[in-house]
Amino acid sequence: MIGSLLAKLRLVWDHCTVCGGNLGSSPQGYLCPSCLSGIKPAPTSRREPLPYVSAYRVYAPYEGVLAEAIRLIKFRGVRPLARLLGERIGGDLRSFREEVSADVITFVPVHPFRYWGRGFDHNREILRGTDLRWEEILVRTKHTKPLARYGKEERFRKVESAFSPAKGERVEGKRVLVFDDVLTTGATAVSVSRTLLLHGADAVFFYFLSREG
């Protein structure tokens, strides 16, 4: 009885959460190599401007395998998947950095409260999977609950002045490229950009792994 139950559970554990296929030698235990290799750049035609952001690029829409991978990383703490995503976006991020002539790449950090809960900062972990140089320029000074539960207006209020440059980090005269996982309303990007510009950055660009809606 217990044996067969375990066998059933094992069947679930051993299979890709998206297609149900065999996980093979997948190091993270959730997505099969075939689904992972299907994560590719899929630029959207939507390009409405974001205030304070000179230009931005979105790797692909928030759907399918990519959305599942992001959920697994953020809500189930599947750390190896973050590195794998980083490997996939590295080339596209590099080309965007060259296109906008950015001096430095950085990322939107999570607040330490959430970092402790998960054990790692997912954006930093994704960048680690790329072969690009990046720096930790920003700190989150205000703990905000997950923004998904708020309406658009409220999201902008919640993240207002929620960031600042880390102690000793100078951004004057620099063209800063910021990485973030998901573009939803743009509230976070606007807040980060305004902060960096107020501290003397020359221009701020954003690269999003994904876009919702």
Instruction: Kindly list the residues in this chain that would bind Zn ion in the complex (CB under 5 A).
Output: 16, 18-19, 21, 32, 35
Q: Nearest distance from residue 27's CB to Zn ion, in Å?
A: 14
Nearer to Zn ion by C-beta: 50 or 73? Answer: 73
Within the chain, strands assigned E span 55-61, 104-107, 138-140, 163-165, 175-183, 203-211
Please identify which residue in the block is written with the tokens 């998206």: 18
How many other C-beta atoms can be found within 10 angstroms of the C-beta atom of residue 192?
28
Q: Nearest distance from residue 72's CB to Zn ion, in Å?
A: 12
Nearer to Zn ion by C-beta: 62 or 205? Answer: 62
Nearer to Zn ion by C-beta: 65 or 162? Answer: 65
Nearer to Zn ion by C-beta: 31 or 159? Answer: 31
Q: Nearest distance from residue 11's CB to Zn ion, in Å?
A: 15
The DSSP output letter for 109 is: P
Q: Give, for 195, the enclosing helix (H) or strand (E).
A: helix 187-198
Residue 175, both tokens: 């063209």
**Segments in 14-63 forming alpha helices (H):** 33-37
The DSSP output letter for 73 is: H
Q: Nearest distance from residue 35's CB to Zn ion, in Å?
A: 3
How many other C-beta atoms can be found within 10 angstroms of the C-beta atom of residue 202?
14
Q: Nearest distance from residue 79's CB to Zn ion, in Å?
A: 19
Nearer to Zn ion by C-beta: 35 or 84? Answer: 35
